[in-house]
Structure 1
Amino acid sequence: MIRARDSIVSLAGVLGGQLVFFLCVALIGREGGPDVLGKFNTSVAVGMFAGTLLALRFELACVDDDPVRAFGSYLHVLALGFSMFVVLEVMTVLCGYATYLSLGIFALGYFIQQASNFYLNSLRRYGLISLYRIAVNLAFLLLLLAHFQLGFLNDTSPFTIYTAINLVAAIATAAMIAAQGNRQSRSFAFSPLFFVTNRRFAKFILPSTLCGSVLTYSLTIVFPLWFGATNAGYFAAAYRFGFFPVSLIGQSLGGVFRRDSLSAATHRDATASLKSVYVTYARALAALSLIYVAGSLLLFPFFVDILFGRQWSITATFFRCLVPLFALQILYIPLSQIFLVLKVQRTDFLFQLLTAVVLLVALATAKTAALSAQQSVLTFALAGSGVMLIGIALTVRAVRNQSPAISRTGQPDLSQT
């Protein structure tokens, strides 16, 4: 049931893509300085946040055992996402913020990429997903080298270059999927019923995503506002490099865990199969988390010296504050896919709401008490670690009390939504 090859291919893709992106971040920091890196990191965070919400989370419907149904979902969410993008850009201009149009363009490219990955995940095309991740970041690295060393696109910011690459690659991938999918499903017809049938994603997962975004994006967005672009650059280096294993494991093993759990939930002995899959992944993730803590605390300062230089030593201080949070996220993020598999979106939403409240209180406390940059990061990380422990406990309870709302054919039981 658990396919080791899928996990290895997916892991290799995320690893390769993230390693290349690390080189991009290091190049921006070394050549452009902490100010440029801080602005780049904040823009990427805002763009990813907008892209995640662009289609109201209906893109999750693209994960389906039936390829024809998955392709129909893919076309529906692309139509919705592009419509939302147009509305977002028009509102940006009307409100007098035309200089921020590039954020919306990045959001569109990021959204198309995520929807495409969900669809390809349904087809178990992990190799293609991995190739995309590596190719996009490799192209970015090459253009950055030309930008900094040869003066190519001299008046263009790294974020603008990254936006253009992502959009072109995303559109090319969508065109390829559309061409292949049309040969399999010639009877596609747009229907508003799709959004009614899959309303649980907007009803439960969208609010959960909004709340969960407080953990993912809030500190990155407020940091330059509170402590300036230079400190934001140091923090960006610590967060990007420290979060690498979390992103690596979450994107690779998380997707495969969701797919294997979905298969287990439709098995003849669903209860035993699902518990077996969960325990296997939980043990592996716990081991990876412990290795991460030991290895990163030992090696991170050396990587900073090599990639950025000794003047970036404050980055290691930020990183040590974040280690407990990152270690627990390695466990929670992949295991939280069980909420989607078992369709217990209410539990997921309540947990994300708790997370948002706790972290917003932590940020408000840091601001009110006028804490330093390091103290603010530590306060946020400790608060996040506490809620991650609660989240892990909730995934265990969900599996123990599981009652898969999925039929033997993989069709969702709409009476549960």
Structure 2
Amino acid sequence: MLTLPADVTAALTAPLAGLDAELAARFPGDPGTSQPVHTCYVPADQVTATIAEDWAAAARAAFDAHAGEPSDLAAATGVPAALAGRVHAHVRRVLAGSPVADLRVDLEDGYGVRADAEEDAVAVAAAEALRAAAAAGGLPASYGLRPKSLDAAVRARGLRSLDLFLTALTADGGATAPPGLVVTLPKVSAPAQVSVFGDILAELEGRLGLAPIPLEVQVETPSAVLALPALVAAGRPRLRGLHVGTYDYSAALGVSAEHQAGDHPSVELATALMQLAAAETGVRVADGSCNLLPVGDRAAVHAGWRRHAELIRRAWMRGLYQGWDLHPAQLVSRHATVAACLLAGLPPALARLSRWAGTAAGPDDDPSAAFSPPATRVSGSPGPVVDEPATARALAGHVRRALDAGLLDDTHLATAGLTGETITRLSTAGDSPQH
């Protein structure tokens, strides 16, 4: 028999009704959309209608010259020998298709300060190039602009370029912009800058007939790190991502140039705080770039790939599944390392999810077998690992990323007694702690 009558419990918990709504609004969980594994930053004056294919062609040339055999790629990127063949084939396949997942036209640090007339022309030309790329089917699924910041010294210049770019992107009688547009606001120092930038975007959207443009904020100042919860709140509802600015941020802390990198403790602390502020909000966090480019002779290219791969593996271990790429040859190490991370984790993820979903394979039917090399078997009941709902959500997220990368399909899922619907349900908002 209950001690508290239902009406008493209802009366005592009634004050939480407003909080329930607030928490549901603030923490909607993962948006359930594919996250690009990288953002490729290209100086605006280098953007052409064939920029994505130009990057792909340059990446293929580097791959063929310096990673012709699986053992070459494994040696250069640290891919386990047991996975080298499949990773090599995957990279070749990706490079032959559309290896640029997200493209950002850069009018900030990668472009620099030019004469006003020159930047005006470049902003318009870049937008027209992207429209031409879209018409030819060569525009990545996600693309956009990084203008200059709202710092007083460059504010007017940055907003003028933003206006010119968006106006040119929607030219020809009010044609809408190609889908996938996003704008990145760099060097944010205070939440008010995010709010004002959102108001400016809204004004441009209204005048140009644009749908709401997603916003990414670059976190590269100490004041931004200290104000992260307020930055996230100021960016709602259009805020989609927080991207760390590795070099500006570490330099602001006094870190010497030789030690500025994504795995420096100060940068890792910043990204951890970004993850904390963005957790369950639907805002995704992205790692920064590797400034050791894979250029030069074979030894230099391999050194660049090795360092890039180290940073990507470190980021993935920390739950950062997107980073910046600055050079076409980095597409090789990006896609190789991502594939290796995903393939290495697939056997246990599939087996544990199989058990979690109540469809564990029998002792002679291990779902991980299709993804050799063999891993410690965790399917069956009770199994050596005790999983909780949150763990199942993380496992499903790994499987979903493998599906997005083309490393897994419905047939492989069926082998594990799983379906795409199950993976989506377990990995998205309905399973978040707030729901």
Q: Same fold (TM over 0.5)?
A: no
**Which one has a larger percent helix, Structure 1 or Structure 2?**
1
TM-score (norm 1): 0.30
TM-score (norm 2): 0.29
